[in-house]
Amino acid sequence: MNGRILCTEDDADTREMLTVLLEYFGYEVVCPSDSTLALELMRGLHFDLCLVDNWMPGLSGLELTKRIREFNKTVPILFYSGAVQETDRQQALDAGAQGYLFKPVELDKLIQAIDGLIDRSKTAAA
């Protein structure tokens, strides 16, 4: 297993696609349908990366990121969002994310970003 990913995505088809693809690349994926549950999972379980959609039922991706950073300063957070303005990207980074990808993104770029953030996080912890 390459790591455990918490994936927040409100669209059921995209959630299923991301789960299948990430599992194919060796990741364990937990993909709740709302950000409030995602926050609860983050408090109780270990994840190697959070893949965050900006527009979710409950907390927005920005609010979720800020709340995660209150108790976990180190888990990598990667936004994968349809919000394509530079201000959206900058707000996510300011909230504590390490990366931001615009939907849709090529699969290899998504996996490369995930692998890179997890590898850097493990290196920093060593």
Predicted TM-score (pTM) of this structure = 0.94
Tokens 């709302």 found at: 34
| Token duo for residue 33 | 């349908």
DSSP-assigned letters across all residues of 31-65? --SSHHHHHHHHHHS--SEEEE-SS-SSS-HHHHH
Q: Which is nearest to 93 in space by CA: 103, 79, 82, 110?
A: 79
Phi, psi of 56 (to 5 degrees): -135, 155
CB 1 within 8 A of CB 25: no
Q: How many CB atoms lie within 10 A of CB 102?
A: 14
How does pLDDT run across 46-85, given as a tens digit for each residue?
Answer: 999 999 998 888 889 999 999 999 999 999 999 998 888 8
- Domains, the chain, in order of start with CATH, read 3-121 (3.40.50.2300)
Q: Does the pLDDT at position 125 exceed 80? A: no
Hey, what are 41's tokens? 């999972």
The pLDDT of residue 57? 80
DSSP 85: S
